[in-house]
């Protein structure tokens, strides 16, 4: 999936200088695998290409703590396609300065992550299995760039984990946490029937809500000022908009910056939860590959909003990939 080309985005990370160049970032998540190629010029990030594939690397990891061979193969197949796209932007006139490749929750949990790392090395990619704290920091930097000066709470709901960070956009988070709560993990732990039962949904909501409530209560006790805006990134949040707007073709310009209310989240969640998987796959605006985990994603999203006492959230298409590009552009001088 190609992203909007030549889209300028104002950037900046804690006042550090950004060095011009062309960079690539690859994020290997529990459910999706994504790549961005972007130019940094005069302090602005210009997206050249975005690629996206649902690979479900985290299939079964919550129970077994192992990456399945077929799941790793799906990622390898996606990466080969991504690298072919990347190569078209690595030209003599504008060479690619650096590529950053990270894996998150599934790889953190897996006992055989070294085999996955070796597989990527065979493709010429140096994998970093990043901590939840690092994931939160990169996402905060990427998402916060669109809201300079605002106090924001950035929420990233992934397949295996959810990161929440609070602070002033453009700076470092004042409080952040990575929860072992994600849409694939919640699906595999709680939502066993098709469609899930009301008891299963209630149990999932109670488990997620308890964790978010406990941490956010501590944050308030520690004196961290509340955020003025909740910014949500990644597939669950973007899907809420694409379903609401009945998007037969995903429109990133319409999604980016859209506001979604808690009532709309509840309505979408109730609608999706009532459908068996075979019917859910045909819902307009929902990627069929995301259908098995979207109910859990909406449960998590609703739980975060309730715990944070937020009536709405703003969707951001800027996320960890943008944060990774900013990191590469900030550290460019060290590599030269």
The number of helix segments (H) and strand segments (E) in the chain equals: 14, 12
C-alpha closest to that of 104 among 132, 67, 137? 132
C-alpha closest to that of 234 among 162, 167, 289, 177? 162
Please tell me the CATH superfamily of domain 7-132, with its number: ATPase, nucleotide binding domain (3.30.420.40)
Residue 1 banded pLDDT, cuts 50, 70, 90? very low
> For residue 225, what pLDDT is reported?
87
Q: Does the pLDDT of residue 290 top 70, yes or no?
A: yes
pLDDT tens by residue, 109-144: 899 999 999 999 999 999 999 988 899 999 999 998
Peptide bond into 195 cis (omega under 30): yes
pLDDT tens by residue, 260-286: 999 999 999 999 999 999 999 999 999
Tell me the CATH number for domain 146-315. 3.30.420.150
C-alpha closest to that of 234 among 296, 293, 319? 319
Residue 21 backbone class (left: φ over 0; alpha: ψ -120 to 50; beta: rest): left
Distance CA 18, CA 45 (A): 10
> For residue 44, what pLDDT is reported?
86
User: 264 with 237: CB under 8 angstroms?
Assistant: no
* 8 against 300, higher pLDDT: 300
The percentage of residues in the chain with a pLDDT greater than 70, rounded to a whole number, is 94
> For residue 335, what pLDDT is reported?
54
Q: Is the fold of 7-132 the same as that of 146-315?
A: yes
Domain map (residue ranges) of the chain: 7-132, 146-315
**pTM score of the predicted model:** 0.86
């Amino acid at each position: 999936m190609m992203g909007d080309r030549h889209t300028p985005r104002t950037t900046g990370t804690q006042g550090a200088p950004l060095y011009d160049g062309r960079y690539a970032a690859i994020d290997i998540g529990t459910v999706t695998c994504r790549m961005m190629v972007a130019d940094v010029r005069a302090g602005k990030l210009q997206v050249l290409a975005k690629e996206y594939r649902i690979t479900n690397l985290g299939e079964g990891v919550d129970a077994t703590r192992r990456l399945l061979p077929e799941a790793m193969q799906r990622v390898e197949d996606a990466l080969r396609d991504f690298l072919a796209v990347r190569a078209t932007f690595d030209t003599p006139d504008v060479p690619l300065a650096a590529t950053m490749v990270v894996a998150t929750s599934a790889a953190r949990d897996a006992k055989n992550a070294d085999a996955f790392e070796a597989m990527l090395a065979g493709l010429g990619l140096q994998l970093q299995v990043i901590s939840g704290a690092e994931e939160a920091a990169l996402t905060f930097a990427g998402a916060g760039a669109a809201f300079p000066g605002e106090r924001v709470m950035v929420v990233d709901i992934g397949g295996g984990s959810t990161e929440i960070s609070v602070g002033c956009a453009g700076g470092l988070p004042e409080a952040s946490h990575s929860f072992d709560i994600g849409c694939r993990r919640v699906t595999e732990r709680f939502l066993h029937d098709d469609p899930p039962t009301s008891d299963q949904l209630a149990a999932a909501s109670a488990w997620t809500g308890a964790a978010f409530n406990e941490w956010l209560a501590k944050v308030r006790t520690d004196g961290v000022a509340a955020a003025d805006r909740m910014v949500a990134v990644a597939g669950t949040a973007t899907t809420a908009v694409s379903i609401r707007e009945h998007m037969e073709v995903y429109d990133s310009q319409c999604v980016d910056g859209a506001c979604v209310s808690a009532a709309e989240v509840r309505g979408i969640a109730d609608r999706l939860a009532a459908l068996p998987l075979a019917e859910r796959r045909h819902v307009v605006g929902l990627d069929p590959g995301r259908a098995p985990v979207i109910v859990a994603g909406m449960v998590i999203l609703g739980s975060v909003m309730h715990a944070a006492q937020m009536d709405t959230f703003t969707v951001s298409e800027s996320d960890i990939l943008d944060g990774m590009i900013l990191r590469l552009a900030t550290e460019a001088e060290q590599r030269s």
